[in-house]
C-alpha cells in the first residue's frame, strides 16, 4: 500500500460512512457521533458505573469499558464508536495519580508545579496503560458482526500535550489556568520540557491504541483555546505537530487510520492548523462551518481537512422540533458535502463539546435522526 495515496478500502465495515468522510470521500449522508456519547446522560451507563464503583474502576476494566462504549450504539444509529476512557490516563501512568471524586471533575494527587517535579517526568511505560489497549481490542471484537465485518469504526483518543499540562500543573480543572500560565510565562523552559515529554507519551499511547485496533484517533486540545495568540502556536500547536509526526499512518491491518485534531476555542487559529498532518479538524459551536470550509476544507481533489462538529450541546435541551431546526442550520452552514468519486470537502456531524450529563436521552435520538434525514435531503437537493 502506497502511504502517499493509500487504497481506501472500507469493505471491512458495515458502516464506513465516518471513515469515508474523514478521508474526504463522498457519503450518502453525513455521519454523526457525539463527544462523550457514552456518559452519564444514559441511565444504563450510570448503572454500569455503579457496579464498577468509581469512574476509574469503570475506565480501567476492559469489560466495563467495552460495555459502556457500546451502550449508545445500541440506542442510536451512530456512525462511530469512541473508546470509553479519559483524556488524563497518560499523566496518571506518569505517576500523578488520577481520581474522580463523586460529583467533581478529575484530580491529580501529585500535580507538577516546580522544576524538580518537571525534571522527574518521563514517557511512561505503556504497560501501565495496558488496560486501555485491552479495552480497544475488546471493543473491536464486540463490534465485529457474524460475517466478520465491523459494525462501525472505533475511535481512539488522547488529550493534547498542552491540555494534559493544564491538568498536570493545576491538579484539577481551573477557571483561570493561573498556575499553568504562571509556569508558561515565568519558566517557559520547564513548560517546553513538560510538553515534549507529554507529546512523546501521547504519540506512544495513540500508536499503541492503533496497534490494538483503533481505526481513527482524535487529539483533544480541550484547553488550547485558553491560550493567548502566539502562545497557542508555541505551546499547544507545536506539540500537537510533534505528536502527529510520530503517529503510525496505518493499523496492523494496513488500513489508513485518520487523525482528528479538536481545539476547543481554536476557531481563530484555523489557518495555523491548515498545515497540520491530520485529516479532520474538530470545531466548536462558535465557528461558522461555511467560513471554516472556505478556509481549510479544500476543494475537489485538492488537499484540505474534513470538518467535524459543531452544534451547541445545549441545543439538546430544547424540544425535538427546535433540535431539528438547529441540526438543519448546522448542516446548511457547511453546505452540500462533496459528492464526486475523488476527494473533496466533507462534514462529520458532532457536538461542539461533550454532551451534558443532563441531556434527555430521547433528544439524542431526535438529533441523530435529524442529521441523517436532513443530510440525505441536502444531497438530493443539489
Residue 34: CB partners within 8 Å, gap ≥ 6?
72, 78, 350, 351, 355, 364
Catalytic-labelled residue, pool 29, 41, 131, 167: 167
DSSP E strand boundaries for the chain: 81-82, 98-100, 106-108, 154-159, 216-221, 259-263, 280-282, 306-311, 347-351
Minimum CB distance to a copy of itself smaller for 112 or for 208: 112
- Does 234 contact a copy of itself by CB under 8 A? no
Q: Nearest distance from residue 117's CB to a copy of itself, in Å?
A: 18
Is 107 a known active-site residue?
no
Of 329, 340, 376, 377, the one binding a copy of itself (CB under 8 A) is 329
Closer of 101 and 268 to a copy of itself (Cβ): 268
Question: Of residues 50-69, which lie at the interface with a copy of itself (CB under 8 A)?
Answer: none
- Binding to a copy of itself in span 202-231, by CB under 8 A: 225, 227-231
Contact 151, 80 (CB under 8 A): no
At closest approach, how far in Å is the CB of 299 from a copy of itself?
A: 22
Active site residue: 20, 24, 49, 107, which one? Answer: 49
Nearer residue to a copy of itself within complex by CB, 256 or 364: 364
| Shortest reach from residue 309's CB to a copy of itself, in Å | 10
Contact 116, 190 (CB under 8 A): no
Q: Residues 256 to 315: which contact a copy of itself by CB under 8 A?
A: 265, 267-268, 285-288, 310-315
Q: Check if 329 is active-site.
A: no
- By the 10 Å C-beta count (0-12 exposed, 13-18 middle, 19+ buried), 253 is classed as exposed
Least Å distance between CB 326 and a copy of itself?
7
The strand pairing partners of 216, in sequence order, are 155
Residues 348-377 that bind a copy of itself (CB under 8 A): 352, 356, 358
- Spatial contact of 98 and 110, defined as CB atoms under 8 Å apart: no
Nearer to a copy of itself, 86 or 284 (CB): 284
Closest CA to 372 of 41, 364, 283, 23: 364
| Cα distances (angstroms) measured from residue 382 to each of 65, 75, 113 | 42, 31, 56
Whether the bond between 310 and the residue before it is cis, its omega within 30 degrees of 0, is yes
Q: In whole angstroms, how close is the CB of 287 to a copy of itself at the nearest point?
A: 6
Active site annotation includes 167: yes
C-alpha cell at position 90: 497518560
- Which stretches within 53-171 are classed as H helix? 55-59, 62-75, 89-91, 115-120, 130-143, 161-170
Q: Is 234 helix (H, G, I), strand (E, B) or coil?
A: helix
Please, which residue, 157 or 285, has the CB nearer to a copy of itself? 285
Instruction: Pick the closer one to a copy of itself by CB: 258 or 265.
Output: 265
122 CB neighbour count, 10 Å cutoff: 11
Q: Does 148 bind a copy of itself (CB under 8 A)?
A: no
> Which residues are catalytic, by number?
36, 40, 49, 86, 167
**Which residues would be at the binding site for a copy of itself (CB under 8 A)?**
176-178, 181-182, 184-186, 225, 227-232, 265, 267-268, 285-288, 310-315, 317-319, 322, 326, 329, 333, 352, 356, 358
Amino acid at each position: 500500500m502506497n502511504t502517499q495515496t493509500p487504497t481506501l478500502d472500507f469493505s471491512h465495515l458495515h458502516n464506513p460512512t465516518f471513515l469515508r468522510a474523514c478521508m474526504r470521500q463522498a457519503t450518502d449522508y453525513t455521519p454523526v457521533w457525539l463527544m462523550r456519547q457514552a456518559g452519564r446522560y444514559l441511565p444504563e451507563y450510570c448503572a454500569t458505573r455503579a457496579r464498577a464503583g468509581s469512574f476509574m474502576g469503570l475506565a480501567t476494566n476492559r469489560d466495563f469499558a467495552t460495555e459502556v462504549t457500546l451502550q449508545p450504539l445500541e440506542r442510536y444509529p451512530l456512525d462511530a464508536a469512541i473508546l470509553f476512557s479519559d483524556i488524563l490516563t497518560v499523566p496518571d501512568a506518569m505517576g500523578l495519580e488520577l481520581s474522580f471524586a463523586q460529583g467533581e471533575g478529575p484530580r491529580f494527587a501529585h500535580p507538577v508545579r516546580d522544576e524538580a517535579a518537571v525534571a522527574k517526568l518521563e514517557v511512561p511505560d505503556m504497560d501501565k496503560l495496558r488496560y486501555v489497549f485491552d479495552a480497544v481490542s475488546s471493543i473491536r471484537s464486540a463490534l465485529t458482526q457474524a460475517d466478520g465485518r465491523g459494525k462501525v469504526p472505533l475511535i481512539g483518543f488522547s488529550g493534547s500535550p498542552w491540555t494534559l499540562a493544564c491538568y498536570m500543573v493545576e491538579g484539577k480543572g481551573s477557571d483561570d489556568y493561573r498556575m499553568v500560565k504562571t509556569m508558561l510565562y515565568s519558566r517557559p523552559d520547564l513548560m517546553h520540557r513538560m510538553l515534549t515529554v507529554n507529546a512523546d507519551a501521547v504519540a506512544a499511547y495513540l500508536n499503541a491504541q492503533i496497534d490494538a485496533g483503533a481505526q481513527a484517533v482524535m487529539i483533544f486540545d480541550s484547553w488550547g483555546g485558553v491560550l493567548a495568540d502566539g502562545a497557542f502556536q508555541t505551546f499547544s500547536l507545536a506539540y500537537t505537530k510533534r505528536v502527529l509526526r510520530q503517529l503510525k499512518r496505518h493499523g496492523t491491518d494496513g488500513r489508513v487510520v485518520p487523525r482528528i485534531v479538536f481545539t476547543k476555542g481554536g476557531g481563530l487559529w484555523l489557518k495555523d492548523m491548515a498545515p497540520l498532518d491530520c485529516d479532520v479538524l474538530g470545531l466548536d459551536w462558535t465557528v461558522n462551518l461555511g467560513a471554516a470550509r472556505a478556509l481549510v476544507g479544500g476543494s475537489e481533489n485538492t488537499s484540505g481537512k474534513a470538518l467535524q462538529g459543531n452544534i451547541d450541546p445545549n441545543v439538546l435541551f430544547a424540544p425535538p422540533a427546535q433540535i431539528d431546526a438547529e441540526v438543519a442550520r448546522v448542516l446548511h452552514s457547511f453546505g452540500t458535502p462533496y459528492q464526486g468519486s475523488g476527494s473533496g470537502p466533507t462534514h462529520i456531524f458532532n457536538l461542539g463539546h461533550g454532551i451534558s450529563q443532563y441531556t434527555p436521552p430521547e433528544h439524542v435520538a431526535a438529533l441523530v435522526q435529524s442529521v441523517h434525514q436532513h443530510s440525505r435531503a441536502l444531497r438530493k437537493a443539489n
